[in-house]
Chains A and B, each alone.
Chain A
Amino acid sequence: MAKKIKVLAIGELAGNQLSPGTRELLGGGRDLADSLGARVGIVLLSESAGKTGAEAIAYGADEVYQAEAAFLKNYQPEVYLQVLEKIVKKVGPEILLLAQTATGRDLAPRLACRLKTALAPDCVALAIDPDSGLLRMTRPVYGGRALAVLVCKTRPQMATVRFRALKSREPDPSRPGEIKPVTPELDQSKIKSKFIEKVVEEVKGVPLENARVVACGGRGMGGAEAYALLEELAQFWGGAVGATRPACDSGWVSSARQIGLTGKIVSPNLYLAVALSGSSQHMAGCGNSKMIVAINKDPEANIFSFANYGVVGDYRRILPPLIERLKQVRKGPKD
């Protein structure tokens, strides 16, 4: 008899590909399923799936439940909920995973209610308990000051997963797997909200999530103009500029640049933390950076307990000579 689908992921598309978070769900879901000796399924809702079903298999799925319909074009919670509730109930997984994205965080709580189960949101680690076979879900709480481990008593055991918490596998185009088309049905009379439009606010420069180097400025920057220094600094590596919440709330920087618990999650090779104190809520968004370098005038600032290297001082006296020196080096070999 074929092994059962015990782990089910709800995927998201980015254009005509799987989103990076979805690939991570498949990688992490694969590990969980392997330790349970079970199969991994994924649900993909879209207007047109293209080659994403095959892509999901290459990234680790055994079965793809693929629903295509014009009404699935834009994410609309009540539409997606209706379709997903039916599919998940039919598959009956032990474990249900979503990514903690704009869509996942909106969808998962209501889906959990409809499935009469619980939800561990924004998990940073998932593991099967070797004794009980249950899913141990680890999530930061109290603004990232503490970690909680939860075990769910109802089924499915449901989690949303923070970006970069799980590892995507190398795609293997020769993996076997099955695409199962699902015909989505919609009861329009139950729809109470409607998507009207999406307004994209252009942010110039490298997207934060992909930048290898991020220069982030906090409240201590003192105003919008000072961020030009961070631009110059980041430019040396082709990096991006981020900000803490107070800097965004003050309107110095677009809120699309906010890093932290309620902003973007980044994990660059180098994180330059300038004039920010290192609150737990901020570190939730950058604590996984490979190297953190802090510049802060307060030697007691919390950021120094996260940083690998630090300079105590006023950024206004440190950044200009630092940038100057980097520029010289850049010019050097070419002359």
Chain B
Amino acid sequence: MQVIVCLKQILDPEMPSGSFHLDPNRKRAVPPPGTPPVLSPFDENALEAALRLKDGQGAKVIAVSLGDKLARAVVKKPLSAGADELVLLEDPEWEDLDHFASARVLAAAIRKIGEFDLILTGRQAADWDAGLVGSALAEELGLGCVTLARKIEVVKDKVRVERVAPDGYEVVEALRPCVVTVDSELGELRQITMPGIFAAKKKPIQEWKPADLKLASPAPARCELVDLYLPKRETVCEIIGGESPEEAALKLADKLLEKCPA
């Protein structure tokens, strides 16, 4: 079995709010100095799903990352965690692609890889929080797609997925190959170990350019970003204090009773 996992390098989504700044001209967030990029957290969940399939029933896991200026320390993490191969799609032309263009390039790379039973992505990349590329990839490749997986099993010619629902979960079966997008409920990526890091040094890395994929220049984005700004917040917090926590608690109780009676 061969499993492809798509992982995107992004700004650290959990950076402190004071470090987050926008470049109004480029309409992009500015990478804060000293805060390295990370793999999008849901993509790490997707990698974990792939590694569990590898542990459980044996699978070759291929990680794919697309972008420009990919930090090797970041994008090689899947190899250290247990993936078998890495495909890097790195080119200035591939910087800041829109979701549909990203799906097109990833689909071309996946066709070039050729053989696969399952493609995993995160439920959404934690920069633009869109959740489009997995579905668009399925449409590009003419495959079925199951979103928001919390558990994935391969049973004969089918992939059986528990997908997160607002009030529980659904069980869905898709013919393989198919695309599955993964939710954080699946579980966090395993710890990276020293032996894992050493083993990664010997694993193959392919680097492909637009010419390798025989792709024409990306189509212009279908959506135009006309504005990007920080939301204004006018709330001023009234701190309720007291000589002791108990006293503050009683004052808070009075405030709540006044503002929001039962």
- A residues bordering B, Cβ < 8 Å? 77-78, 101-102, 105-106, 109-110, 112-114, 117-122, 136, 140-143, 145-154, 192-201, 203, 213, 236-238, 245, 249, 255-256, 261-262, 264, 269-270, 279-281, 291-295, 299, 302, 304-314, 317-322, 325-326, 329-330
Contact of A309 among B221, B230, B252 (CB under 8 A): B252
B135/A305 in contact, CB under 8 A? no
A198/B173 in contact, CB under 8 A? no
Q: In the bound complex, what is the Cα–Cα distance between A281 and B12 (angstroms)?
A: 13
Q: For A306, list chain B residues within 8 Å (CB).
A: 233, 235, 237
What are 18 A-B pairs at a CB distance below 8 A?
Answer: A106-B135, A109-B135, A119-B132, A145-B230, A148-B27, A149-B226, A151-B223, A152-B224, A153-B224, A192-B178, A194-B173, A195-B170, A200-B168, A305-B233, A309-B240, A317-B246, A326-B256, A330-B262
Q: How far is the CB of B128 from chain A (nearest CB, A)?
A: 5
Q: In the bound complex, what is the Cα–Cα distance between A195 and B169 (angstroms)?
A: 11
B144/A313 in contact, CB under 8 A? no
Q: How far is the CB of B30 from chain A (nearest CB, A)?
A: 11
B249/A317 in contact, CB under 8 A? yes
Interface residues of B in 186-203 (CB under 8 A from A): 188
Q: How far is the CB of A25 from chain B (nearest CB, A)?
A: 18
- B residues bordering A, Cβ < 8 Å? 11, 13-14, 17, 20, 22, 27, 29, 98, 100, 123-124, 126-132, 134-136, 138-140, 143-148, 160, 164-175, 178, 183-185, 188, 220-231, 233, 235, 237-241, 245-246, 248-250, 252-257, 259-260, 262
Q: How far is the CB of B34 from chain A (nearest CB, A)?
A: 18
Contact of A308 among B123, B140, B230, B235 (CB under 8 A): B235
A-B contact count (CB 8 A): 242
Contact of A203 among B134, B167, B171, B245 (CB under 8 A): B167
Q: For A192, list chain B residues within 8 Å (CB).
A: 143-144, 174-175, 178
Q: Please, which residue of chain A has its CB at the minimum distance from the CB of B135?
A: A109
Q: How far is the CB of A105 from chain B (nearest CB, A)?
A: 6
Contact of A142 among B20, B146, B240, B255 (CB under 8 A): B20
Q: How far is the CB of B126 from chain A (nearest CB, A)?
A: 6
With A302-B17, A308-B237, A314-B245 already in contact, 5 other A-B pairs whose C-beta atoms are closer than 8 Å: A154-B222, A193-B175, A196-B160, A312-B239, A325-B254
Q: In the bound complex, what is the Cα–Cα distance between A308 and B245 (angstroms)?
A: 19
Q: For B13, list chain A residues within 8 Å (CB).
A: 142-143, 281
Q: Please, which residue of chain A has its CB at the minimum distance from the CB of B146?
A: A193
Q: In the bound complex, what is the Cα–Cα distance between A294 and B235 (angstroms)?
A: 13
Q: For B178, list chain A residues within 8 Å (CB).
A: 192-193
Q: How far is the CB of B237 from chain A (nearest CB, A)?
A: 5
B173/A193 in contact, CB under 8 A? yes
